[in-house]
Amino acid sequence: MDLIFLGPPGAGKGTQAKWIIEEFATPQISTGDIIRAAIRGGTELGKEFKSYTDAGKLVPDELVNRMVKDRLAQDDVKGGFLLDGFPRTVPQADALDGMQTEAGRRLNHVLLLEVADSVLLERITGRRSDPETGRVYHIKFDPPPADVADRVIQRSDDTEEVLGQRLEEYHAKTAPLIPYYEEKGLLRRIAGEGSPEEIRDLLFAAIRG
């Protein structure tokens, strides 16, 4: 089963993806995770990625398309995948269509988590990461335990200023994917402001439906 996860930054795609990959035995392909790994590794590509993410800008399509195509060619996704963070623009969606056609595959569902910008602001600016484990907490909804509280950090792209830029980019470049996939009959809208468990159940129903 080939799935795409759409939604603005902070919509909860990462949390929900863990349940989806467990329930449907579908590997997750998170372009954000791939990019952050490249940045942590200090590679030349990672440095190029960092110049965009630090400024709250999307990585250019050509770089991301190449990265995704290489990932989709690996053996573990032969039975399906959950794409999180790609496509983010209509040209990227067109590129993915080409990859799918070339591989003799087709998308099953495009899952859209819908969350208001005001809710996203509270979620994003409250996130804190543990640099030693990579675990992400939230100062209000999931505070770090006392033994790690002193070392958690706020990611450079989790500030209000950067989020505003990311939301502008999302509404301008990614939101057009909604009618793009709606016209293809693939879009499944899921309200993303309930409890994680409620949203999970809605997602499962959409995938099975």
**pLDDT tens for each residue of the chain, 209 residues long:** 999 999 998 898 888 999 999 999 999 998 878 788 788 888 887 888 888 878 888 778 888 888 888 888 889 999 999 998 899 889 999 999 999 999 999 999 999 999 999 999 998 999 999 999 999 999 998 999 999 999 999 988 889 999 999 899 899 989 999 999 999 999 999 999 988 999 999 999 999 98
Q: Which of 71, 127, 128, 188 is catalytic?
A: 127
> pTM of the predicted model, to two decimals?
0.79
Q: Which of 50, 166, 188, 200 is catalytic?
A: 166
Q: Is 88 a catalytic residue?
A: yes
Residue 19 lies in a domain: yes
Instruction: Return all residues near 34 (Cβ < 8 A) that are at least 6 apart.
Output: 67, 71
Q: Which of 36, 105, 155, 173 is catalytic?
A: 155
Q: Is 200 a catalytic residue?
A: no
Q: Count the domains in the chain.
A: 1
Q: Is 155 a catalytic residue?
A: yes
Domain that residue 202 falls in: 2-115+178-208
Residue 127 lies in a domain: no
Q: Any idea what the CATH number is for the domain that residue 53 is in?
A: 3.40.50.300
Residue 169 lies in a domain: no
Q: Is 127 a catalytic residue?
A: yes
